Structure 1
C-alpha cells in the first residue's frame, strides 16, 4: 500500500513533464468518454454529505475497471478544504492513500482543458479568475500544456496571500500577469481572451455576457451549489453557444448557473460525448464542471503509477 502525503503529491504534480501531463490527460479523456458512452462500466452514485455545525464532509465513491476510489473532503468557512483519496483493488485491498487537495485541483483544471487539447485550439490569451488552489492549477496547466499562452490572473483583493501565489507561480517559470476585479482594463482582457477560466466560489456574476467575444472558450468550475453563480446566465443562453457539462445528473442538481438559467438536459451536452465526437467548434463554448468521482479515480491511479516509477511515497507492506 502506497501513502502519498500532501507535500509529496504536490511536488509530484508540480514536476510532471509535458509528456506525463499529456498521458494523464489522455487517461482522463478515455475515462470521461466511457462515463458518457458506456455508463454501465462505471458505478458512480451522486456524492453524499454530512454537516456538523459549519463543517460539511463530502463523500465521492466510484468503481471502474477493477479499482474502487473513495474521496472524502471536509469543507468549512473556517479553514481550507481537507481530505484524502483511497484506492482499493477488485478484492477490496487498500492500494493507495493520498492527500486530496492537490489531486482535486489538478484533475478539475485538467478536465476544463480537455476540449481545448482535443480541438487543438491555438490558445493565445487566457484569463483566470481566482487565486486559490483551483486558480493556481488552471494557470500551471495552461503554462505547461499551452506554451506561449499569455495568462492573466484576476483576484478580488490585493492581499499578501494573492501576491504570494503570483510570486510563486512566476518563480516557477510561469509568465503571468495579474489584475484586480475592479481594474478598468479587465473588460478588454476578456474581450481579447481565447479562453476564460472561472475558479471562484462566487454568488454573483463575475463579468457580463457582452464582454465575451464569439469564438471563446469559457470554463466555470467554482460554483457547486444552486445559489452559487460565476457566469452571466445570458452567456449560457447565447444563440449558437454550446454548453458542456462534466456530468449531466450532477450538474442539473448542483450547478447554480444552469439552474438559474433554466437550462434542462436537452440544452446541454456531456463532456465525454463531445470528446468522443471529435468535433471542433467555431462558436462560444461554455464548460460547467462540478466534479466527478471518476476524475479522482483516474488521476489518482495515474499519480500512483508515476509515483511508483519515481519511487516517491511510503510503502506499507502487508496492509490488510
Structure 2
C-alpha cells in the first residue's frame, strides 16, 4: 500500500479485528497514552510540536444531528473522531475516525468507530485494576451495571485478561432483549464462566424475585458501572474490602452511579484526568485535587511508586473514575489499524491522493 492510498475499515472489518485482537495490545496502548497525558506536559517532538495535543472538542449542529469533532495527537499518531448524536431516536451513535499520515499529511485510513470507544474505555478499566492490584488479588466475580456496548466491552476485556474470573453478573433495571442478548453472547464466548442477569433498581427499592443486589455486590471483586443514572446503583455498605470499582457512566455534575459513602471509603480516587473528572464527574464533586490521582501517574515509571501508594494507602476499596480522553481514541485507533493491515482487512483505495 503506497502513501497515496487509503484504507477503509467498515464496522464488519473492525469487528473482525476485535474478535481476534490480543487484549494486551489494547491495554498497553492505553498505558502509554495515559502516561503521556499525565507526564508529558509541554514536552516537544520538534520545536513548536508538542508530544501530546488535545484541542477542545468542536460541535456542529444540523436539524437532526449534533456532530462532535474530536481531534488529538500523541507522538506518532494523529486522528480525529467524529460522532453524531441524534436529536431523535436512531440506531445508536454513528462514529468514524480519520487517521492521518504524519509525514505526508495525507489521510491514511478511515474506520468505523462505533465499538472503539467501548474498547478504549474497557482497556483503561483493566489497566486501572492492573495498576493497583496486589499480587495476592485474583478476581473471581465481575459485576457489571448496564447492558450496552460498554458493558459488552468491559466483560470481554476483563475475562480475556483475567481467566480467574469464573462468574459474571449483568445487573439491569429491567430485563430487555438487549440485556438478555448480552448475557447469552458473553456466555457463548466464555463457556467456562457462569454468566447471569440480575434485575434490580436500588433507587426504587425493587428487585426481581430471587435476586439479591446487596449479596451480589458483597461477593464482587470488580464492579463496573456504565449507566446514565443520577442516583446510586447499589448500596455502599456491602462492598467488600479490596473491591475495585470502575465508574464509566457519569459525565455531568448531576449524574452519579455510587453513594458518597463509597467514595469516602476510597479516600483517594484514581481518575483518567484530574481536571476533567473534577469538573464533570458527579460522584467527585467537592473533592480536592489532592484526593484525585491520575492513572497516568500510577503507570508511568517515574511516578508509579508514590502515586500507587497514595491511592492504596488510604481507603479499603479502590475507585477508578473515567470520563474519557481524546488521546485514548488516537491510541486505540492506531492499534486497530495496525492489526487490520496485518490481517489484510479493509478496502484499499489506490491512488486516493
Q: Once the 2 structures are TM-superposed, how far is the Cα of residue 145 of structure 1 from its aligned partner? A: 0.7
Give 2:10's match in structure 1, choosing from 1, 5, 24.
5
Contact 1:194–1:216 (Cα < 8 Å) also in 2: yes
Distance 1:125 1:46 in 2: 38
- The corresponding residue for 1:209 is 236
The 10-residue stretch of structure 1 (96-105 or 54-63) with the greater mean CA deviation from structure 2:
54-63
Alpha carbons of structure 1 residues 53 and 43: separation in structure 2 relative to 1, 3 Å: same
Give 2:223's match in structure 1, choosing from 189, 196, 207.
196
Q: Residue 81 of structure 1: SS of its match in structure 2? A: coil
Q: Once the 2 structures are TM-superposed, how far is the Cα of residue 237 of structure 1 from its aligned partner? A: 2.3
The 10-residue stretch of structure 1 (76-85 or 24-33) with the greater mean CA deviation from structure 2:
76-85
- The corresponding residue for 1:290 is 323
1:208-287 aligned at under 5 Å gives the runs: 208-238=235-265, 241-259=267-285, 262-276=286-300, 277-278=304-305, 279=308, 281=312, 283-287=316-320
Distance 2:319 2:158 in 1: 17
1:46-65 aligned at under 5 Å gives the runs: 46-52=56-62, 55-65=65-75
Give 2:175's match in structure 1, choosing from 146, 158, 164.
158
Structure 2: any 5+ residue segments left out of the alignment? Answer: 1-5, 43-50, 201-206
Distance 1:46 1:286 in 2: 27
Contact 2:214–2:235 (Cα < 8 Å) also in 1: no
Give 1:124's match in structure 2, choosing from 140, 161, 168.
140
Q: Identify the structure with the greater helix proportion.
A: 1
Distance 1:157 1:11 in 2: 31
Give 2:119's match in structure 1, choosing from 87, 106, 114.
106
- The corresponding residue for 1:74 is 84
- The corresponding residue for 2:32 is 30
Distance 2:56 2:288 in 1: 18
Contact 1:59–1:73 (Cα < 8 Å) also in 2: yes
Q: Once the 2 structures are TM-superposed, how far is the Cα of residue 54 of structure 1 from its aligned partner? A: 7.2
Larger Rg over CA atoms: 2
Distance 1:180 1:58 in 2: 34
Structure 1: any 5+ residue segments left out of the alignment? Answer: none
Contact 2:260–2:283 (Cα < 8 Å) also in 1: yes
Q: Once the 2 structures are TM-superposed, how far is the Cα of residue 292 of structure 1 from its aligned partner? A: 0.7
The 10-residue stretch of structure 1 (305-314 or 85-94) with the greater mean CA deviation from structure 2:
85-94
Distance 1:100 1:155 in 2: 25
- The corresponding residue for 1:318 is 351
Distance 2:16 2:161 in 1: 18
Give 2:160's match in structure 1, choosing from 138, 141, 144.
144
Distance 1:33 1:8 in 2: 30
Contact 2:58–2:68 (Cα < 8 Å) also in 1: yes
Contact 1:94–1:319 (Cα < 8 Å) also in 2: no
Distance 2:252 2:96 in 1: 22
Cα deviations across residues 46-88 of structure 1 (Å, max 9, x unaligned)?
4343455674332221112132111111224513111111111
Q: Residue 26 of structure 2: SS of its match in structure 1? A: helix
Contact 1:49–1:57 (Cα < 8 Å) also in 2: yes
- With structure 1 as the length reference, what TM-score do the two structures score? 0.91
Distance 2:63 2:69 in 1: 17
Q: Once the 2 structures are TM-superposed, how far is the Cα of residue 228 of structure 1 from its aligned partner? A: 1.7
Distance 1:251 1:15 in 2: 33
Distance 1:13 1:314 in 2: 17
Distance 2:281 2:61 in 1: 20
Give 1:83's match in structure 2, choosing from 85, 90, 95.
95
Q: Once the 2 structures are TM-superposed, how far is the Cα of residue 36 of structure 1 from its aligned partner? A: 0.4
- The answer to whether 1:133 aligns with 2:159 is no
